[in-house]
Structure formats: structure tokens, C-alpha cells
Amino acid sequence: MSRALDGRTALVTGASRGIGRAVAERLAAEGALVAVGYARDEAAAREVVDAIAGAGGRAFPVRAELGVPGDVETLFDALDEALGPDAPLHILVNNAGISVHAPIEDVTPEIYDRGFAVNTRAPFFVTRRALPRIPDGGRIVTVTSGVTRISFPEAIAYAMTKGALETFTLALAKHLGPRGITVNNVAPGIVDTDANAGWLRGDPGAWEASARRSALGRVGVPRDVAGVVAFLASDDAGWVTGVTVDATGGGDL
């Protein structure tokens, strides 16, 4: 049986763990050849690649720390080495990001700049560099956050980085519409990942409180988000562009 993404190549940034790993595994299960982007943890990225191969899929790692000088060049040099400089990139998933968990009083210029460098500047210029390689009818999906809809003063700078991405997507969807390239966001809520483990599992009441914020009564898991990304990457989503799909489980309804 053919799969939804057979014959397509996808790049997923921040794919060595959490939501990014789940997205990489889901896209590979749908038939895509997946470039597993990672910053430092080569062993984790190899684990993802091996898991995909073990399930019958295809993947390879590409290393580039985003948010530092030369990051885009490093990423695409690795991609070119693996695929060749003329190989098409049908799907781009901008997932890599860092947490900026602090109220405004605790956000220093250094924290602020680092958050925007990784969460906003990097996906902007990764996308810009990828555009010549994305064929007509391609897909761009960016992982933002439910904090662009739900007031979250404890992470005000983080929310700003993700809000900027949603504006970016809105404008880019219009710009790329004539080429049939769709551009969308997926906004997760509270998800049980390594990045959230410290506060989510460290405080006995945090898990229960987080589950209560969802209309579905539970904390999200990475595959919840991966399924939405896979839909937006598929042909079935060809008439969906310029939108943010809320994947918070009905957070704070």
C-alpha cells in the first residue's frame, strides 16, 4: 500500500527528542525520508534514526545548533552532503525551540535575545534558505505554542517569540500561495516532554493542574502534536494555509 508521504523528503528541526522526535517518526511512518535535525546530542539523534529504520522507515541525522552565527549554513551543508545540493525538500517542519520561562522582571536582554535567536530568527532564515528547494505544492509547518492564545505571563518573552512566528506564517502563506505551497502553524499546549519534565513532574500538583487546563482532562503527549503536523504535511491539507491549528486539547476553554 502507498503511504501519504511516499517519495517526499522532510526536514524536521529539533527532532532528537520530544515533539520533534514524534513528528520525525510519524512522517517517516507515512513514507517520507526524514532529515532528523539536532543541535548537540548525536546519540539521541542516532536513536531516532535507528527507531525509524527499525520500523521500516528512512531517516538520517543533520547537525546544526540553531540560534548561533552560521547556523543556517551548517544545517544546509549537512543536508547537501546527505542528499545533494539539488535534491528537493518537500516538507519543512520548524520545530526547534527553547523555553524562556520567566516573568518580565526576570527577563534579561541576554535571555530575551537568546530566545528570539533560536525560536524566531532561526526558523525565519531556515525557511528562507529552504525556499528554492521546496517544490510547488510543498509544505511548511511551524510549531508555535498555545501561549499565543492563552495568557501566560510566566513566559512572556517565550510567548512573544511564538507570536512572531504566527505572524510570519500568515504573511508567508500569502506570498507562497501562487506556488501551491501551504504554510501553517501547530500550537501545542502542555506536553509531557523532556523539556517540561522539570516543572511538570517535579511538582506533585503540577501534573494534575496541567491536566485540568485541558478540556480533555489530560496532559498532552508528543504523538498528539505529531498527528496534526502529519495532516498538514499531507495532500489532504492542500486547501489549508495561513492558519494556526490549536493542539492544546482544548486548553483553558
Per-residue pLDDT for the chain (253 aa), expressed as one digit of tens each?
569 999 999 999 999 999 999 999 999 999 999 999 999 999 999 999 999 999 999 999 999 999 999 999 999 999 999 999 999 999 999 999 999 989 999 999 999 999 999 999 999 999 999 999 999 999 999 999 999 999 999 999 999 999 999 999 999 999 999 999 999 999 999 998 888 877 788 787 988 888 999 999 999 999 999 999 999 999 999 999 999 999 999 999 7
Q: Which of 143, 193, 151, 191 is nearest to 169 (CA)?
A: 143
- Count of domains forming the chain: 1
- CA–CA separation, 103 and 181 (whole Å): 37
User: Exposure pattern of 66-94 as b/e (b: 16+ CB <10 Å)?
Assistant: bbeeebbebbbebbeeebeeeeebbbbbb
Q: Are 25 and 10 in contact (CB under 8 A)?
A: no
Task: Look at residue 252 and tell me if it is in a domain.
Answer: no
Contact 103, 116 (CB under 8 A): no
Q: Rounded to 10 degrees, what is the CA torsion of 229, 139, 163, 130?
A: 130
* 32 close to 8: Cβ distance less than 8 angstroms: yes
Q: What is the pTM of this model?
A: 0.96
Active site residue 158: yes
Q: Which three cell numbers stand for residue 250?
A: 482544548
Domain of residue 46 covers 9-247
Chain centroid offset of residue 69 CA: 21
DSSP 186: E
Among candidate residues 60, 76, 112, 158, the one labeled active-site is 158
- CA 44/CA 17 separation, integer angstroms: 7
Report whether 154 contacts 172 (CB < 8 A).
no
Q: What is the CATH number of the domain that holds 132?
A: 3.40.50.720
Q: How many C-beta atoms lie closer than 10 Å to residue 127's C-beta?
A: 20
Query: Does residue 243 lie within any of the structural domains?
Result: yes
Torsion of the alpha carbons at 184, 243, 185 and 168, rounded to the nearest 10: 80
